[in-house]
């Protein structure tokens, strides 16, 4: 990863600060980011790691390898964890597909939709943020 800068944005007493990283979306960063998320949360939290992988993978596949992104992982009220991936292309929006058994791709958002309690897109003028929230899991 190019820059990993955890910050204490909105952190409550006793909770870890948000994890924020700015990096280039390339395949070799995905496992590094998964490890950073696990280390930050202090538990496996496989659903969060899956969401990070799928959201970053979507940027790589649909916006382009090497795209600069910002990744944020934060605890939210109600015991959840929010994952956000922001990229500089507001025009390429995620689409929930219904992949068949023969399809070689198209399952990323289906997986995310299955594990997230909710997800969506915040579209800006010069960027978009795809986000999801999952249960925090056991600590």
In a domain, 122, yes or no: yes
* End-to-end Cα distance, the chain: 26
φ/ψ of residue 88, rounded to 5: -85, 15
In a domain, 36, yes or no: yes
Its domain, for residue 22, covers 15-135
Mean pLDDT, all residues of the chain: 82
**Residue where the block lists tokens 């992988």:** 53
CATH number at residue 105: 3.30.565.10
In a domain, 2, yes or no: no
Q: Please report, rounded to a whole number, the percentage of residues in the chain having pLDDT higher than 90.
A: 60
Please tell me the total count of domains within the chain: 1
In a domain, 86, yes or no: yes
Please give the Cα distance from 105 to 107 (Å, whole number): 6
Helical ranges in 1-139 per DSSP H: 29-41, 46-58, 108-115
In a domain, 9, yes or no: no
In a domain, 84, yes or no: yes
Question: What are 4-42's pLDDT values in tens digits?
Answer: 433 334 444 445 679 999 999 999 999 999 999 999 988
Token digits of residue 52: 């990070």
In a domain, 10, yes or no: no
* 3-class DSSP state of 59: helix
**Residue where the block lists tokens 């929006």:** 93
In a domain, 70, yes or no: yes
């Amino acid at each position: 990863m190019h820059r990993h800068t955890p910050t204490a944005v909105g952190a409550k007493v006793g909770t870890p600060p948000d994890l924020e990283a700015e990096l280039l979306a390339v395949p070799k960063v995905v496992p590094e980011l998964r490890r950073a998320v696990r280390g930050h949360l202090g538990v496996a939290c496989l659903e969060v790691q899956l969401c990070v992988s799928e959201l970053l993978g979507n940027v790589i596949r649909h916006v382009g390898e090497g795209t600069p992104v910002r990744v944020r992982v934060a605890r939210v009220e109600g015991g959840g964890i929010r994952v956000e991936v922001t990229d500089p292309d507001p025009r390429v929006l995620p689409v929930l597909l219904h992949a068949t058994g023969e399809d070689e791709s198209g399952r990323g958002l289906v997986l995310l939709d299955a594990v997230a309690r909710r997800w969506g897109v915040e579209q800006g003028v010069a960027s978009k943020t795809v986000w999801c929230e999952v249960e925090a899991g056991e600590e």
